[in-house]
Amino acid sequence: MKLLSLLLALCLLLGAYVSGHPEDKSSGRPLCPCPRNMEPVCGSNDVTYSNRCLFECEQRSMERSGRSLKLLRTGEC
């Protein structure tokens, strides 16, 4: 019984280590959970984001790659 518990614990630790930072497998970007509310905002890249949360996720992603993104205004571009 102890061996089974130890094996289960090792599998869980290995799974946590391998998963590391959750990413969207299609884009390779970190997942960013946001609500689906429609409150559009316009970014400095002339892209309309559905809401501020999605804009901020993209902003963080761009900052990680050395680029910047600013919020121009609320509403569509």
pLDDT of residue 20: 40
Topology annotation, domain 23-77: Wheat Germ Agglutinin (Isolectin 2); domain 1 (3.30.60)
Taking Cα atoms as reference points, which of 47, 18, 24, 75 lies closest to residue 10? Answer: 18
3 vs 29, residue with greater confidence: 3
* Residue-range domain boundaries for the chain: 23-77
22-59 pLDDT, tens digit each: 444 455 556 889 999 999 999 999 999 999 999 999 99
Maximum distance among all alpha carbons in the chain?
Answer: 61
Mean pLDDT, all residues of the chain: 79
∠43-39-74 over CA atoms, to 5°?
40
If you write DSSP's letter for every residue of 22-54 in order, what string do you get? -B-TTT-PBP---------EEETTS-EESSHHH
